[in-house]
Amino acid sequence: MTDKIYFSADFEGANPKKEGITRVDDEHHILHAFSETKLESFRLETMLINNSGAPRRISVAINWPTEPFSELRDCFYIRHENEPDWTVAVGRTSPGKTCLTCLFPAGKTMLCLHPHYGYEDCENFISGLVSPHLEKNVVGTTENSRNIWLLKISSVPPENQCKSVFVCARNHANESSGNYCVEGMINWILSKDSLAVYARDNIRYYFMPMTNPDGVADGMARFTGLKCADLNKDADWHFKNNPGALPDKSHATFFKALDSVKPACFVNLHSYLFKFKDEIYGPSEKDIDNFTRFAPDQTESAKVWKKTISDQDSFPSGYCRKRFRTLSLLFEIPWFGRNAASMRNMGIKLIKALILANTLQTNGWGKL
C-alpha cells in the first residue's frame, strides 16, 4: 500500500470488507456498509490508517444498503490506538447515507457505529479471569470452530439447591454494548463488595458473554452468518422464516445451555440506535416495575426507561418462560451518551438492581 491515508478492513469484525472501501484521495473516502439481512443494516466497523505523520481532516461518505432508520445513523464512535476509550463523532444523514468529517491523528483510528468489541476481546477477557468462585467451560463451538463459553460464578456448594441467573449478550453481532455490560457484571460479582459476596453465597450465576462469535468476527449485522440463524429467535421461528435454513451450531449450543441451566431468571442484553431511551421487555407490568424501582437513574446518560410488556414467545426469553417459568427480561442498552467505562458501570448497576429486586420479595433469593 503506497497511499499514506486509507481505510483498512484488515482486522476481525471489519464491515465493510476491502471491496466495500473506495479511496477517492487522501481526504475523501467512500464506505459501502453491508448487511446479511434486509431487516436492518446497522454495523460499521472500520479503521483509518494515517501514515502522513500529522493529523488530517478526512471526509467519509457512508452508503447503507437500506434506508429505514437512516436518521439514527448520525452518531459514530472513534478511538485512536493510543487512547483508552471511545469518543463521539457526529455526521449528517440523508436516506441511505451518512456524511462525516473528522480530524484523524497520525496512526490507527477505529471508526464504528457501535464501539468495537471482537471475538478476540472476549477470549482475552475470559482468559484473564481468575477466581475460586469461577468455572470456565467451552460448551460448544461455532460453524467456524470458535469457542462458545459458559461461565459459572457462585460460592454455593454443588449439592445445595439455589436459584440460578443466566445472562447472555451478543445474540446480534452488531450490538457490542452487551459485552461491555457483561465485563462490568462479572468483575463486580467476583469482587469483595458486600452485595457481590452475598449474591455469590445465595445464587448461581451463568454468563454466556458472546453467543454469536461467528457473526461478531465475520462482520455480520445481526445473524451468525450469511443466511444463518438469528439467535434471538427459537428453532421453530428459525426454520419457518428462513427458507432453506440449516441447523446452526451456535443456535443449538445456546438453547442447549438454557435447557441445562433452567434459569430462574434470564437476562438477554441487546442494543439499538435510539438515543434517549433504555428499554426493558418483561412479561408483566409487575415484573418490570419490580426491577425498575431499583434501576439506575438514566438521566446522566440522557435516557429514560421505556417499559414494554411482551410475552416474547419466539425469543429465548419466551422459550425460558414457557419451559421453566423463568423471569425473563430483555434489555436494549444503546451507546449514545456512553463510552466503554460507563457501559461497564451500567452492567454493574443492572445486576445490582436485579439482585435487589429479587431479594426483597417474600419468595426471593435470601433475606436482608
- What pLDDT is recorded for position 5? 96
Q: Other C-beta atoms within 10 Å of 157: how many?
A: 7
Task: Give percent above pLDDT 90 in the chain.
Answer: 83
User: Do 108 and 46 fall into the same domain?
Assistant: yes
Is 366 a member of any domain? no
Check pLDDT > 90 for residue 264: yes
Helix then strand count (H, E) for the chain reads: 9, 18
User: Do 182 and 53 fall into the same domain?
Assistant: no
User: Do 84 and 127 fall into the same domain?
Assistant: no
User: Do 38 and 98 fall into the same domain?
Assistant: yes
Contacts of 362 (CB under 8 A, 6+ apart): none
Is 333 a member of any domain? yes
Of 92, 112, 132, the one marking the end of a domain is 112
Q: What is the pLDDT of residues 202-225, one digit of tens each?
A: 999 999 999 999 999 999 999 998
Give the strand pairing for 97-104 and 92-94: antiparallel
Q: List the CATH number of the domain containing 90.
A: 2.60.40.3120
Q: What is the pLDDT of residues 11-39, one digit of tens each?
A: 999 999 999 999 999 999 999 999 988 77
In whole angstroms, what is the distance from residue 316 CA to residue 301 CA?
A: 28
- What pLDDT is recorded for position 229? 87
Contacts of 232 (CB under 8 A, 6+ apart): 171, 172, 268, 270, 315, 316
In whole angstroms, what is the distance from residue 155 CA to residue 153 CA?
A: 7
User: Do 346 and 286 fall into the same domain?
Assistant: yes
Check pLDDT > 70 for residue 276: yes
Check pLDDT > 70 for residue 59: yes
Q: What is the pLDDT of residues 289-316, one digit of tens each?
A: 989 889 878 888 899 999 999 877 889 9
The range of the structural domain enclosing residue 70 comes to 5-112
Q: Are 43 and 35 in contact (CB under 8 A)?
A: yes
Is 368 a member of any domain? no
Is 131 a member of any domain? yes
Number of structural domains in the chain: 2
User: Do 79 and 180 fall into the same domain?
Assistant: no
171-188 average pLDDT score: 98
Sign of torsion over alpha carbons 336, 342, 344, 350: negative
Check pLDDT > 80 for residue 191: yes
Is 365 a member of any domain? no
- Would you state the cell numbers that stand for residue 182, as one nine-digit string? 457483561
- Would you state the cell numbers that stand for residue 203, as one nine-digit string? 445464587
User: Do 166 and 102 fall into the same domain?
Assistant: no
105-131 average pLDDT score: 98
Task: Give percent above pLDDT 70 in the chain.
Answer: 96
Q: List the CATH number of the domain containing 310.
A: 3.40.630.10
- What pLDDT is recorded for position 2? 62
Q: Are 94 and 75 in contact (CB under 8 A)?
A: no
Is 34 a member of any domain? yes
In whole angstroms, what is the distance from residue 238 CA to residue 263 CA?
A: 23
User: Do 180 and 283 fall into the same domain?
Assistant: yes
User: Do 243 and 277 fall into the same domain?
Assistant: yes
Q: Other C-beta atoms within 10 Å of 53: how many?
A: 9
110 strand-pairing partners: 47, 79
Q: What is the pLDDT of residues 69-105, one digit of tens each?
A: 999 999 999 999 999 999 999 999 999 999 999 999 9
Check pLDDT > 80 for residue 1: no
Is 164 a member of any domain? yes
Of 78, 112, 146, the one marking the end of a domain is 112
Is 367 a member of any domain? no
User: Do 273 and 152 fall into the same domain?
Assistant: yes
Tell me the pLDDT band of 361, cut-offs 50, 70 and 90: low
- What pLDDT is recorded for position 237? 84
Q: Are 67 and 40 in contact (CB under 8 A)?
A: no
Q: Other C-beta atoms within 10 Å of 154: how many?
A: 22
328-357 average pLDDT score: 95
User: Do 288 and 166 fall into the same domain?
Assistant: yes
Check pLDDT > 60 for residue 362: no
Count of alpha carbons within 13 angstroms of residue 146, beta-carbon side: 22
Write out the H or E segment, with its range, that includes residue 166. Answer: strand 163-169
φ, ψ for residue 180, nearest 5 deg: -65, -40
Of 51, 80, 112, the one marking the end of a domain is 112
User: Do 107 and 169 fall into the same domain?
Assistant: no
